[in-house]
A and B are shown apart, each in its own frame.
Chain A
Amino acid sequence: MSIRKLIATGCVIAAAAVSAQSTFAGDKLRIATEGAYAPFNMVNSEGQLVGFDVEIANALCVEMKADCDVVAQDWDGIIPGLRARKYDAIVASMSITKERLRVVDFSEKYYSNVLAFVGPKGADMGVTKAALKGKTIGAQRATIAGQTLEDVYGDTVNVKLYDTQDNAYLDMSSGRLDGLLSDKFPAYDWLKSTEGKKFEFKGADIDINDKIGIAVRKGDKLKGKLDKAIKAIVANGKYAEINAKYFPFSIY
């Protein structure tokens, strides 16, 4: 009896191991996000990653019938980490740029980004290059906003680059900055907060034809699957449902 039981147990364990392995080898996807870019990706009070990006990532995984694991990774190491195979995709509100396309592939866009200046409420702040001359303007390092600020305004404006958007907000509310150049949607979220109430958008939106996509390693077949899944969730209304939770307007 004991031998029979032993064999039976052995079989069960082996079967479990095999099935566990097959799900692991199957579609276990590791997806990186930053976790400091509200409302797209942030860490809630329970320490979990939440936000628009995370919900989109999960919706895509459901659509692709993949088992996903969303992990947090600092922004300026996020592309090197992808290339080092620490994860398979980046869903972190990343703009599709020529420079990035040299080192990674991107899915189709999953939303479109515009930039906007933020300044103190009531302050008369022009956003032309001449009007901003000598002002201290902040942005996040390694972002489109940061690069636009450096490239377009860098010679006349005092540019300050931050590791995270949160640190830029902190310095905006402490008065070290005259203004911020930021992606509009996360700033929209911040302006609703207690700290952000004292500030408002200045000037018109800056459309820099900025499409946000999902980064994968060069030549990875995952790109095709993601493209299909994005199309599917836009078509079946899942996308609009997530969008409406965060913004009263469509950001696709």
Chain B
Amino acid sequence: MSWEWEIIWQYLPKLLDGAWLTLELIALSGLFGMLLALPIALMRASKNAWLRAIPFAYIFFFRGTPLLVQIFLIYYGASQFEVIKESFLWPILKQPYWCAIIAFSLNTAAYSAELLRGAIQSIPKGEVEVCEALGMSKPLMIRRVVLPRAFGIVLPAYGNELLLMLKSSALASTITLLDITGMARTIIARTYTPMEMFFAAGMVYLVIAALMIATFRFIEFRLNRYQYYHHTPLPKTLDPQLRDEHLDT
């Protein structure tokens, strides 16, 4: 089998169009997913058994079924009902773009809610007790202490989740969207060069993933500064009487 580099260069602009759609999909679904995951995680971490039980079915369903099935249910399933086709939802559900975003958001929200719940529960008990001792109200405590701490803890795992979502977004191509994978498949249908085009598509995913990893490392570094703190060595010329032997090492 011959390898045609020209084909990759010729169709790269089209693949990059697809990359833009992929980025839009994961950015919007990541955002909506996070907004949805927040209250769910707080409910899941609550001490009230009823509050904990409400989101259980939702999380169970979205973590327990394949994303492809969820996409098909929302895209092809919803359109089978006259009720939905006549409702105000149809202008949104009519578009594959929004169907994909709804499916991805609901899916990622289920996973991130569980991640966040774990993070909230792993905040050292003492920190929560301090808030209570200071007489902080619950909302204030959540806003000032619980969420900022939980975000710091959840970041590495959440970065993972977003990377997984980047790759799952390839499923958008099954509902006529021309994301990176959809674009690659449409090009292959014309050129019959699957090796070249899938290689190129893989490279585009790799670049996006690299950018996401770098961004997350940066945010992690900012948010968890205390973990990266190093003492600055004291100047050698400092008056010996000012030295503190604990800081000297």
B94 touches A175 (CB 8 A): yes
Which residue of A is nearest B95, CB measured?
Answer: A176
A105-163: which have CB < 8 Å to B? Answer: 138, 141-143, 146-147, 160-163
Binds A, one of B25-33, B101-109, B183-191: B183-191
Q: Which of A79, A99, A176 contacts B94 (CB 8 A)?
A: A176
* Among A83, A170, A176: residue with most chain B CB under 10 A: A176
Q: How many Å lie between the Cα of A160 and that of B178 in the bound state?
A: 9
Let me know if A80 is at the binding interface, CB within 8 A: yes
Known A161-B176, A174-B85; judge A141-B185 contact (CB<8 A): yes
Would you call the interface of chain B mostly helix, strand, loop, or mixed?
helix
Number of residues from A at the complex interface, CB < 8 A? 25
Task: Check B168 for interface membership: any CB of A closer than 8 A.
Answer: no
Task: Given A76-B185, A141-B185, A161-B176, verify A170-B190 contact (CB < 8 Å).
Answer: no
**CB-defined interface of B162-195 with A at 8 Å, one 1/0 digit per residue?**
0000000000001010100000011011111010
Q: Which of B80, B176, B192 contacts A100 (CB 8 A)?
A: B192
A80→B194 contact, CB < 8 A: yes
B79 within 8 A of A: yes
| B176:A147 contact, CB within 8 angstroms | no
Number of interface residues of B (CB under 8 A): 18
Q: Is B62 an interface residue (CB 8 A)?
A: no
Is B191's CB under 8 angstroms from A99's CB? yes
What does DSSP make chain A's interface, helix, strand, loop or mixed? helix
Per-residue interface assignment for chain B, residues 1 to 38, with 1 indicating a CB less than 8 Å from any chain A CB and 0 otherwise: 10000000000000000000000000000000000000
- Contact assessment for A147 and B79 in the assembled complex, using a CB-CB cutoff below 8 Å: no
Using a CB–CB distance below 8 Å, which chain A residues touch chain B?
A: 76-77, 79-80, 83, 99-100, 102-103, 138, 141-143, 146-147, 160-163, 167, 170-171, 174-176
Chain B residues within 8 Å of A, Cβ to Cβ? 1, 76, 79-80, 85, 94, 96, 174, 176, 178, 185-186, 188-192, 194
Nearest 7 A/B pairs, CB to CB: A142-B189, A174-B79, A160-B176, A103-B192, A141-B189, A80-B194, A170-B76
